[in-house]
Amino acid sequence: MNASAAPASTFDPNLRFVRVQCDELDPGPLPVAFQDSTMGPFTHWKVGWLRLTADDGRVGQGPTMLPEGFVDELLKGGQVGEAMTVERWWHKLYWMSRNGGHRSPATTGPIFGVDLAMRDILAQRAGLPLHRFLGAARDVVPVYGSGGGTNLTTDALVAEMADMVASGFTTLKMKVGTDFGTRMAGDVERVRAVRRAIGAKIALAIDGNQTWSADEALHFARQVADLDIAWFEEPVHSADRAALRALCPVCPIPVAMGESENHPLGFRDLVECGVPHLQPSPHALPGFEAWTRAVSFAEAGGRAWSSGGFSHLTAAYLATRPAGVVEYLRSIIGHLATVYETMPRIADGTITLPTTPGLPVSVAWGRLEERKAVRGVVDRKR
C-alpha cells in the first residue's frame, strides 16, 4: 500500500527532512548466550536506531544505521531541496545504491529503515497506527516462539521450549546442526527430547542455518521425520539453488528458505526451486513494498510463509496480509525489547498491535540515557 492509502485530505504525503540521527542502543548482555549451527555464541546484541525529523517536527524512527551518502541525500532533499513522496525518496535511495549491490544487506538494511521511518511520519500525520496506515484490517497476528540455541544443554533446551509453551506459544522452533552440522546424532536426540517434552499438540520446526549439503540435510530429515516437524529451515546454503531443487521434492519435512534473501525476486526463484515455505524478513528487504512483493510470490505460489526480524515491527507488516506468522526469537528479540517504552503485547501465540498513531514501538530514551546505553553515531541538521 502506498502513501495514498489514507484519505488525501488528512495528511501531506510529501516529506522534507531537517535532521538525521543514528544511535547505537545497548540493552546490555543477553541473559543467556545464543548460538546456532554456524554463528555465535552471541553474548550481546546491540541495535542501530534511526530518527528522521521532518520539517513539520514529526520524527520517524526505525532500526538501522545509515551510510554517509544516505544522510547527505536525505538532508539535501534531492537536487533542489524539494519535498518528495515516500515512493520518490525510495526510488532515489534505491538507485543511488546500485553499485553497492541491490542484494547487499549494506544497501537493503538502510533502505528498510528509511522507508519505515518515512511511513512512520506519514502514519502520524494521518492519525493512524502504522499497520492501519499500511492497509491492515486486523490488529492481532499469530506469532511463534523461536530459540533453542545449539549451545544449550539438552536439559536447558527442553526447559526453554517448555517455558515457551507455558507462555502460550503453540508453535516453536529450535536450532539444529550443532558445530557446523558435525553432531548430527546428538541433534536428532535433542529434537526427540523436545518433542517428548512439549507433546504432540505443539507444532515444532527446526532450523539448520545453512550448514548441510542436500544429502546431509535429507539424511537428517529422515531421522526426525516421525516427529511431525512443521518445517526444516535453511537446511542448505541459501545461495545453492541446485541443492534446493534436489532436496525439496524428496525431503519428508517441508523446506523453508528466505531469511537471507535481500531482494523480492529471490522469492520468485525459491518458488521455482519448489520451496514450500518462504520467509521474507522486512529488515532484510528494501522497504515495505519490496516485502509485499516478496510475500506476493509466496501467496501466488500457494506457499506457506512467515516473517522474522524485529518481531514487534514485523507484526505491523504482517497484519496487512491475510495469512503468515511472525517469528519471535525470544532470547534476542525479547532482550532487545528492553529498549522500548511501549510495544505490542505478545501473549497466547499472538501479537496485539497498539492503536496509537505511528510505529507500534517507542524507545525508552530517558531510561537508556540514564544507563549510558545510547551511543550517538550521527546527528546532522539541514
Q: Tens of pLDDT along 128-146?
A: 999 999 999 999 999 999 9
| Percent residues over pLDDT 90 in the chain | 92
What's the confidence (pLDDT) of residue 81?
63
| Cβ(377)–Cβ(68) below 8 Å | no
- The pLDDT-based confidence of 127 (bands split at 50, 70, 90) is very high
Contacts 24+ apart (CB under 8 A), 220-225: 220/176, 220/184, 220/187, 220/188, 221/251, 221/252, 221/253, 222/252, 223/184, 223/188, 224/188, 224/191, 224/192, 224/253, 225/252, 225/253
41-55, 91-105, 234-248, 269-283: least confident range: 91-105
Q: Which domains does the chain have, with CATH numbers?
A: 3-127+365-381 (3.30.390.10), 133-362 (3.20.20.120)
Cell numbers for 223, please give them.
531421522
Residue 321 — φ and ψ, nearest 5°? -115, 155
Q: Where are the alpha helices (DSSP H) in 301-346?
A: 311-318, 330-336
pLDDT at 80 over 70: no
Indicate the DSSP class of residue 99.
Answer: G
What's the confidence (pLDDT) of residue 382?
86
What's the confidence (pLDDT) of residue 9?
47
pLDDT at 235 over 80: yes
Instruction: Give every CB contact of residue 71 below 8 A, 6+ residues apart in sequence.
Output: 20, 22, 378, 380
Cα–Cα distance, 116 to 134 (Å, whole number): 11
pLDDT at 7 over 50: no
Indicate the DSSP class of residue 23.
Answer: E
β-bridge mates for residue 17, sequence order: 54
pLDDT tens sequence across 322-349: 999 999 999 999 999 999 999 999 999 9
The pairing of strands 277-278 and 304-307 is parallel
What pTM was computed for the model? 0.95
- The pLDDT-based confidence of 206 (bands split at 50, 70, 90) is very high
Which residue has 553515531 as its cell numbers?
377
Cell numbers for 52, please give them.
528522521
